[in-house]
Amino acid sequence: MTEAEDRKPRSDEARTTYDPEVTSEFAVPAGLAVPRAGTESETTSEFAVPEGLEAPQPASAEPEGSAFSLPSGYSAQHGPMVFTPPGGVPAVSLTKDAPWQDRMRTMLRMPVTERPAPEPVHKAEEGGPAVPRVLDLTLRIGELLLAGGENAEDVEAAMFAVCRSYGLDRCEPNVTFTLLSISHQPSLVDDPVTASRTVRRRGTDYTRLAAVFQLVDDLSYPETHVSLEEAYRRLAEIRRNRHPYPGWALTAASGLLAGAASVLVGGDLIVFFAAALGAMLGDRLAWLCAGRGLPEFYQFTVAAMPPAAIGVALTLAHVDVRAAAVITGGLFALLPGRALVAGVQDGLTGFYITASARLLEVMYFFVGIVIGVLIVLYFGVKVGGQLNPEAALNIEERPLLQIAAAMLLSLTFAVLLQQERSTVLPVTLNGGVAWSVYGAMHYVGDISPVASTAVAAGLVGLFGQLLSRFRFASALPYTTAAIGPLLPGSATYFGLLSIAQNEVDKGLVSLAKAASLAMAIAIGVNLGAEISRLFLRVGSAGKRRAAKRTRGF
């Protein structure tokens, strides 16, 4: 290469060609030795730790986990809230002297994140009871309440109260017609614990129901100290307790109930004893079928036959009595008013699956009664019995006698429901008030029977709820028996009689009237209870807003 070529600028292609003689200005000069580490690369980051400087390491480094993992030492029970709801944290004031039903019902309607934390567990077990055992106790208590006829909302409130009394927060009970389940999740990152229980058998025993309510009240009261073992012992005693009334008393009560109902629709002394005899025979036949394992549908069918047969026999014998009153009285003892009220109440409070199942059960019972009565009426019409549907329009007004009969009907209904003796007198008076209001509105004020029944049933629900709040007990023993005089026994009978005489249109109209009266009873009882809750608020107005149910969106 000549000297002139040496001074000539090199092209870009020449620059990109590797030339070992040309080096970078940052290259280490030849002959200068630089110490190198054995495994470290020549080029290092400016953030690298200088050689000889050791950074202090933590004693025990925590393993890398999820961003949602709880910090060490964090307690979900005593820690602060992790976020604030969009509408702010409501000021919830739950007074301890209020009934536990109101307090638990309010918290059940609130979102989980807005519920107040439970108080520290005051039970005797060191470290608190085991979660599965608390859930098992909760399910057993809920099973007794649901099997006793309690509505789904109060069953959920009782289950929630038991869990919170033992310090279990974030619990979600769920109640359907035959299945109870409850889920407990300690925190957002812990696995939930879920348990369920199936209700196999149902029985009406309001004494047992009141004992279960007392147990839940003692568990939820902060001043009492009921350990888990003590709660199990008391629950076992409740299960073993015998009914307060013997079998013969129940049979006699069913007869007196039918006799009192026959007096309400215009019967005399002969009709009273005839209706009582038919109802007692039906009750014994139903017990016989139950002992043979027949379903309740057939028990209702068989129990409806003897009163109808006695009424037809009196007509064929040309006895000058109201045969229709005999049959109507027998129907009063069979109409499932308790299940109807519970079913409608579950529907009004948002438990639609349970409400559908209860109303379907009522429909089956009603169909069984219809079949039993229709069989006897068809036979009576074929053999020449002169049964008159127009007798329903000729009921005599006997206020004092009818009020006494209504009170007797409520008293005997309370015995059939196995109520405590201390609740029999209040429910008897409640039934007398219900019939007095109905008679004053319908017979004196000439108001439609549906409206009169709804108002009377509303008063029953209002007084029953007030009595239950006064005694911190269930409202069922104070309301169910009191609606007995309002049951649509006569409308049901005359509808069936018209169908048996091939007057289907008139029969369907009468049965529709009976269904309207039944719905008026159920809605009136529930409305009276809700009105009592509106005027007897628990806590602050902010908590009442949290108790609002869904509005359809």
Average pLDDT in the 15-37 region? 58
Please report which confidence band the pLDDT of residue 120 belongs to, taking 50, 70 and 90 as the band edges: low
| pLDDT exceeds 70 at position 100 | no
Task: Say which residue, 460 or 488, is predicted with more confidence.
Answer: 460
What is the pLDDT at residue 538? Answer: 46
Distance from the Cα of residue 406 to its chain's centroid? 29
Average pLDDT, the chain: 76
Question: Which among 282, 524, 272 is positioned nearest to 402, based on CA atoms?
Answer: 272
| pLDDT exceeds 50 at position 123 | no
Residue percentage of the chain with pLDDT more than 90: 7
| pLDDT exceeds 50 at position 546 | no
Average pLDDT in the 371-393 region? 72
| pLDDT exceeds 60 at position 6 | no
What is the pLDDT at residue 271? Answer: 87
- Strand 171-175 versus strand 193-198 pairing type: unpaired
Among 87-96, 339-348, 356-365, 373-382, the minimum mean pLDDT is found in: 87-96
What is the pLDDT at residue 281? Answer: 92
b vs e for 243-254, b when ≥16 Cβ sit within 10 Å of the residue's Cβ? eebeeeebbbbb
8 A C-beta contact, residue 487 and residue 161: no
What is the pLDDT at residue 539? Answer: 43
| pLDDT exceeds 70 at position 90 | no
CA separation for the pair 29, 106 (Å, rounded): 84
The pLDDT tens digits for 387-400 are 655 555 456 678 88
The pLDDT tens digits for 284-306 are 998 898 888 888 889 989 998 99
The pLDDT tens digits for 471-499 are 777 788 888 888 888 888 777 777 877 77
The runs of H, that is alpha helices, within 417-503 are 421-439, 449-471, 476-479, 489-500
Please report which confidence band the pLDDT of residue 109 belongs to, taking 50, 70 and 90 as the band edges: low
Global pTM reads 0.70
Q: First CA to last CA across the chain, in angstroms?
A: 91
| DSSP class of 265 | T
Residue type, 364: Y
Burial of 221 (0-12, 13-18, 19+ CB in 10 A): middle
The pLDDT tens digits for 169-218 are 788 888 888 889 999 887 777 788 889 998 887 777 888 888 888 898 88
Please report which confidence band the pLDDT of residue 97 belongs to, taking 50, 70 and 90 as the band edges: low
**β-strand partners of 175:** 180
8 A C-beta contact, residue 123 and residue 227: yes
What is the pLDDT at residue 140? Answer: 92
The pLDDT tens digits for 141-152 are 999 988 888 888
